[in-house]
Amino acid sequence: MSGRAPRIAGTDHLNQVGFIATVSGGQTLCQPQMILPDDAQRVQMLIGTYGPPAPSLAVSFQDAGGRVLTSGRLAAGARQGEVAVPIGYPHGATAVGTLCVRVGGAGRVALAGDIFPPGPSSEQIAGRPQAGRIAVTYLRPGSESWWRLLPTLSRRFGLGKASFFGDWTLPVVALILVGLWVAVARLLVRELT
Amino acid sequence: MSIAACVRRIFAGVRRIPPAGRVCFLVAFVNVAIWTVVIPPFQVPDEISHFGYAQYLAETGKPPPQGPGAQYSPQEQTALNALDFVSVVGHVKQRGIFNSIEDRALRQTLATNPSPVGEGGVSSVTNQPPLYYALEAIPYWLSPSHEILFRLELMRLLSALMAACTVLCIYLFLRELLPGSPWTWTVGALVVAFQPTFDFISAGVQGDNLLFLASAATFLMLTRAYRLGLDTRRGVAIGLVTVAGVLGKLTFVSLVPGIALALLLLGWRARTRERGQALRGIGVAAAIVVLPVVAYAALNATVWHRGGPTGGGFAAAGTVALATGHAVNFKETLDYIWQLYLPRLPFMHREFSYYPLTETWFDGTIGHFGWVDYTFPTWIYTFARWLFIALALLACSTLVRMRERIRPWLGLMVCFAVMAMGLFAAIGYAGIRYRESTGAIFEQARYLFPLLSLYALGIVIAARGAGRRWAPALGAGLVALAMIHGLFAETLTISRYYG
Q: Are A71 and A58 in contact (CB under 8 A)?
A: yes
Q: pLDDT per residue over B26-58, tens digit each? A: 999 999 999 999 999 999 999 999 999 999 999
- Same domain for A64 and A101, yes or no, is yes
- Same domain for A135 and A176, yes or no, is no
Q: How confident is the model at residue A3 (pLDDT cuts 50, 70, 90)?
A: confident
Query: What pLDDT score does B293 carry?
Result: 96
> A157: which chain B residues are within 8 Å (Cβ-Cβ)?
494, 498
Please give the torsion angle defined by the CA atoms of residues B57, B62, B67 and B70, in that order, rounded to the nearest 10 degrees. Answer: -20
Q: What is the mean pLDDT of chain B?
A: 94
Query: Whole domain around residue A107: which residue ranges?
Result: 4-144
Is A153 a domain residue?
A: no
Burial B91-120 (b: 16+ CB within 10 A, else e): beebbbbbbebbbeebeeebeeebebebbb
Q: Are B169 and B456 in contact (CB under 8 A)?
A: no
Share of chain B above pLDDT 90, in %: 88
CA distances from A67 to A43, A70, A90, A121, B486 (A): 19, 9, 16, 19, 48
- Same domain for A38 and A120, yes or no, is yes
> A146: which chain B residues are within 8 Å (Cβ-Cβ)?
491, 495, 499
Cα–Cα distance for residue pair B311/B296, rounded to 1 Å: 9
CA neighbor of B426 nearest in space, from B271, B237, B255, B296: B255
B247 C-beta neighbours (distance < 10 Å), count: 22
Task: Say yes or no to pLDDT of B184 above 80.
Answer: yes
Task: Say yes or no to pLDDT of B320 above 90.
Answer: no
- Same domain for A114 and A182, yes or no, is no
- Same domain for A17 and A82, yes or no, is yes
Q: pLDDT per residue over B369-402, tens digit each? A: 999 999 999 999 999 999 999 999 999 999 999 9
Number of domains in chain A: 2
- Same domain for A131 and A180, yes or no, is no
CA angle, B229 then B232 then B233, to 5°: 85
Is A152 a domain residue?
A: no
CA distances from B376 to B93, B194, B488, B498 (A): 15, 16, 9, 17
Domain at A128, CATH number: 2.60.120
Cα–Cα distance for residue pair B321/B328, rounded to 1 Å: 7
Cα–Cα distance for residue pair A163/B106, rounded to 1 Å: 10
Is A149 a domain residue?
A: no
Closest residue in A to B29 (Cα) is A180
Query: What pLDDT score does B272 carry?
Result: 76
- Same domain for A170 and A128, yes or no, is no
Helix (H, G, I), strand (E, B) or coil at A139: strand
Q: Are A10 and B95 in contact (CB under 8 A)?
A: yes
- Same domain for A62 and A132, yes or no, is yes
Q: Are B412 and B457 in contact (CB under 8 A)?
A: no
B364-370 mean pLDDT:
96
Q: pLDDT per residue over A128-153, tens digit each? A: 999 999 999 999 999 999 999 999 99
Q: pLDDT per residue over B479-488, tens digit each? A: 999 999 999 9
Contact B479 A160 (CB under 8 A): no
Task: Say yes or no to pLDDT of B209 above 60.
Answer: yes
Contact B153 A8 (CB under 8 A): no
B413-418 mean pLDDT:
98
Cα–Cα distance for residue pair B328/B349, rounded to 1 Å: 13
- Same domain for A65 and A139, yes or no, is yes
Is A58 a domain residue?
A: yes
- Same domain for A169 and A82, yes or no, is no
Query: What pLDDT score does B495 carry?
Result: 95
- Same domain for A138 and A186, yes or no, is no
Task: Say yes or no to pLDDT of A1 above 60.
Answer: yes
Cα–Cα distance for residue pair B47/B44, rounded to 1 Å: 5
**Smallest Cα distance from B467 to chain A, Å:** 14
CA neighbor of B366 nearest in space, from B486, B232, B233: B486
Q: Nearest by CB to A162, which of B34, B149, B498?
A: B149
Is A69 a domain residue?
A: yes
pTM, 2 dp: 0.94
ipTM reported for the complex, 2 dp = 0.93
Task: Say yes or no to pLDDT of A31 above 60.
Answer: yes
- Same domain for A164 and A137, yes or no, is no
**Smallest Cα distance from B494 to chain A, Å:** 8
Cα–Cα distance for residue pair B466/B464, rounded to 1 Å: 5
Query: What pLDDT score does A61 carry?
Result: 97
Partnered with residue A29 across adjacent β-strands are A101, A125
Query: What pLDDT score does B317 carry?
Result: 64
Q: Are A129 and A31 in contact (CB under 8 A)?
A: no
